[in-house]
Amino acid sequence: MEVGIEHTITRTVDASMTAARMGSGLLEVLATPVMIAGMEQVCLECCAPYLPEGCSTVGISVNIRHLAPTPVGAEVRYQCRLAQIDGKRLVFSVQAFDPVSLIGEGEHERFIVNSQRFTEKSLSRLAK
């Protein structure tokens, strides 16, 4: 894995993705949490082919601005670029576009983890 790798995905906004449905607003437009989830997904997919077997990444930070509303039926293009590698910490520049313009941008950080150990650690929290 190296700084500069990029990835793009597209999703069409449906009624389940709106602010009204997600409870993050009252309008039938793409919800900010859904846009952020798309940004996380594009970053996850970007680095996945480069990870050692048994490893994954988890999101640890988002700093995102939602700039414009996108209606149901519109296609959203999410794109990312790996901007920094600091040990197991990966920093991505992310953007989202609808057919008209840039609708969201910012930075997302992910951390490389051993999948089994991470899952075990999370399950241990049930016993406390």
CATH number of the domain residue 11 falls in: 3.10.129.10
pLDDT of residue 127: 72
The mean pLDDT of 37-61, rounded to a whole number, is 98
CB neighbour burial string for 65-101, b if at least 16 within 10 angstroms, e if fewer: ebeeebeeebebbbbbbbeeeeeeebbbbbbbbbeee
Mean pLDDT of the chain: 97
Q: Contact at 8 Å (CB) between 47 and 81?
A: no
56 bridge partner residues: 113
44 assigned to some structural domain:
yes
Q: Would residue 33 count as lying in a domain?
A: yes
Q: What is the pLDDT of residue 128?
A: 62
Domain contains 101: yes
Whether the predicted pLDDT of 61 surpasses 90: yes
Q: In terms of residues, how long is the chain? A: 128
88, HSE (Cβ side, Cα atoms, 13 Å): 11
Q: What value does the mean pLDDT take over residues 25-51? A: 98
Residue 1 lies in a domain: no
* Percent of the chain's residues with pLDDT above 70: 99
Over range 50-57, report the average pLDDT: 97
* In a domain? residue 23: yes
What is the tally of structural domains in the chain?
A: 1
For residue 77, the enclosing domain spans 6-127
pLDDT digits (tens, 9 = 90+) for 63-121: 999 999 999 999 999 999 999 999 999 999 999 999 999 999 999 999 999 999 999 99
Residue 62 counted as domain residue: yes
